Amino acid sequence: MEPLARSPLFRNLPPLLLLLLPLAGSGGRTVAARGSFWHITDLHWDPSYTVTDNPGLVCASTGTRPAPNAGRFGHYHCDSPWDLIDSSINAMKVILPEPDFIIWTGDDTPHVPNEQLGEEAVLSIVGNLTRLLQLAFPKTKVYSALGNHDYHPKSQMPPGQSTMYEQMAQLWQDWLEPESQRTFQSGGYYSEQLLNKTGYRVLVLNTNLYYDQNKLTENVADPAGQFEWMDNILTRAAQKNEKAYIVGHVPPGFFEKKRSKPWFRPDFNRRYLELVQKHHAVIYGQFFGHHHTDSFRMFYDLQGNPISTIFITPGVTPWKTTLPGVEDGANNPGIRVFNYDPSTLLVEDSVTYYLNLTYANAMRERWEKEYRLCEAFQVPDASPSSMHAVLERLAGTGCDLQKYYEFNSVSYDLSACDADCRVDHICAIREVDFERYEQCLLREGTAATPLAFIPLLIPTALTIYCAAL
């Protein structure tokens, strides 16, 4: 990527203003007709972050890992310092100061043991981030979903009414209609007309209820009655001819950076998939976080037609995951604008912006456009059929997989995506269903027999070639 800042013409502009330049020439579409909204997620503020020469004392979220050369905007072993959070929100204001709305999919607290937090600490962190966003966007509607880290103890969301749900609803009262307050207090989820417009709807889910780390919902058939509620809301939406977006934190399906690693319990995963298959005609987009990476998930009907897509937006925190089996799972901080058609809710495109953390710490704060979806993958829009076409490109023999792979970590990990990596990503994107995912691994897999190795030589060479571009 050639930073605009290097061009002498732009040298005297304040750094954040440079961001506006890529927006000016955004290709053949009529920009005015489009709607746009922000999606931000996984801010994971670590209030303990301090720039110091002692690599053991930089932040609590590093655990036992040293954090040498920590800078003002953060460290890949740590969650976000305040300066990074503030920088992200400022970048949002500079890039797109008047979005139609904002989707915020949670995880605000640092990755530290429960003993270092508590109900009050969690509420204080969520409260301060809420205030920051409200100060920056006082007139903008925010659809805010709970992340598994926005609770104490973490991930232990109860399948019914709780004081933490009540207090969270209090913090977000400006963003919630009265009926939303009510359902939020009793289960952490809600649904409203999108921007209070007839014919449009948003469902903000508490999918932390389905997370396999949640001990409180292990033997509950339909935690907080959310599935039944969702089924009813979507049934009524169909009757009323509404179009809907779904917003949540923990997505169904598998983590693309670790083979056979799902988040939902099996029954919950199946139920979610069935609901999307049943109601896909009213669902125009699904927006999730939790991975900290940039990816997407496809849903198909029984005939194999693409019917829905989950867009997984990368996190603001650069924190390298400690999940065993993930190699170097850090990322650069990312934020994303979606372009959509306000009359149809068709997702038209997305633009991801990022802060190169290494550069920011060494030089200065510089948010750059990372990529525009339609431009990078040569599709007309981000509809399910277009996203299926993107997947087919990734599964093909060109350089698209490598390009996607670099975006996956927000241009942090630029190494080659090898044959195993290819299978992990392709199958996670293609199959949300547990059994079909395992079948995909076998089908796409590298079952390491000597003969199977020969045709692999070509894609491997290609991967190295693409990474070197």
Ligand X SMILES: *[C@@H]1O[C@H](CO)[C@@H](O)[C@H](O)[C@H]1NC(C)=O
Summarize as ranges the residues that interact with ligand X (CB under 6 A): 1, 47, 124-125, 128, 177, 196, 356, 358-359, 362, 411
359 binds, among Zn ion, ligand X, none (CB under 5 to 8 A by kind): ligand X
**What span, in angstroms and rounded, lies between the C-alpha atoms of 136 and 95?**
13
424 is in an annotated binding site: no
Cβ of residue 412: shortest distance to ligand X, in angstroms?
8
Residue 244's nearest CA partner among 383, 343, 176, 345 is 345
290 binds, among ligand X, Zn ion, none (CB under 5 to 8 A by kind): Zn ion
Looking at residue 304, the DSSP 8-state letter turns out to be -
Cβ of residue 188: shortest distance to ligand X, in angstroms?
21
Please say which residue, 356 or 383, places its beta carbon nearer to ligand X: 356
15, 147, 306, 329: which one contacts Zn ion (CB under 5 A)?
147
Residue 387's nearest CA partner among 333, 349, 433 is 349
Pairing state between β 101-104 and 35-40: parallel
279 is in an annotated binding site: no
Please say which residue, 10 or 359, places its beta carbon nearer to ligand X: 359
* Contact of 292 with 331, CB cutoff 8 Å: yes
42, 365, 368, 400: which one contacts Zn ion (CB under 5 A)?
42
Please say which residue, 290 or 403, places its beta carbon nearer to Zn ion: 290
CA 263 to chain centre: 14
Cβ of residue 124: shortest distance to ligand X, in angstroms?
4
Residue 148 engages Zn ion in binding (rule: CB under 5 A): yes
Cβ of residue 68: shortest distance to ligand X, in angstroms?
16
Cβ of residue 128: shortest distance to ligand X, in angstroms?
4
Looking at residue 321, the DSSP 8-state letter turns out to be P
Distances (CA, A) of 94 to 73, 133, 135, 137: 18, 14, 14, 12
148 binds, among ligand X, Zn ion, none (CB under 5 to 8 A by kind): Zn ion
Please say which residue, 286 or 293, places its beta carbon nearer to ligand X: 293
Residue 107 engages Zn ion in binding (rule: CB under 5 A): yes
42 binds, among ligand X, Zn ion, none (CB under 5 to 8 A by kind): Zn ion
| Token representation of residue 131 | 């205030």
107 is in an annotated binding site: yes
> At 338, which helix (H) or strand (E)?
strand 334-340
Query: Site residues for Zn ion, window 56-95 (CB under 5 A)?
Result: none
> At 206, which helix (H) or strand (E)?
none
Tracing tokens 């720039």 back to the chain, one arrives at 51
**What span, in angstroms and rounded, lies between the C-alpha atoms of 349 and 278?**
25
Tracing tokens 């044959």 back to the chain, one arrives at 419
290, 336, 388, 393: which one contacts Zn ion (CB under 5 A)?
290
Q: Which amino acid is at 186?
A: S
269 binds, among Zn ion, ligand X, none (CB under 5 to 8 A by kind): none
152 is in an annotated binding site: no
Please say which residue, 265 or 336, places its beta carbon nearer to ligand X: 336
Maximum alpha-carbon separation in the chain: 64
Q: Which stretch binds Zn ion (CB under 5 A): 74-82, 145-153, 370-378, 440-448?
A: 145-153
**What span, in angstroms and rounded, lies between the C-alpha atoms of 55 and 69?**
7
Cβ of residue 153: shortest distance to ligand X, in angstroms?
18
Q: Give strand pairing partners of 310.
A: 286, 297
148 is in an annotated binding site: yes
Residue 258's nearest CA partner among 286, 291, 288 is 291
Residue 306 engages Zn ion in binding (rule: CB under 5 A): no
Cβ of residue 288: shortest distance to Zn ion, in angstroms?
10
Cβ of residue 177: shortest distance to ligand X, in angstroms?
6
* Contact of 406 with 463, CB cutoff 8 Å: no
Looking at residue 274, the DSSP 8-state letter turns out to be H
Cβ of residue 402: shortest distance to ligand X, in angstroms?
13
Q: Which stretch binds Zn ion (CB under 5 A): 35-43, 120-128, 211-219, 383-391?
A: 35-43
Helix axes 434-444, 419-430, angle to 10 degrees: 150
Please say which residue, 368 or 400, places its beta carbon nearer to ligand X: 368
Looking at residue 202, the DSSP 8-state letter turns out to be E
Contact partners, residue 392, CB within 8 Å, separation at least 6: none
Binding-site positions read 42, 44, 107, 148, 249, 290, 292
Residues that bind Zn ion (CB under 5 A): 42, 107, 147-148, 290
Q: Which residues fall in the annotated binding site for Zn(2+)? A: 42, 44, 107, 148, 249, 290, 292
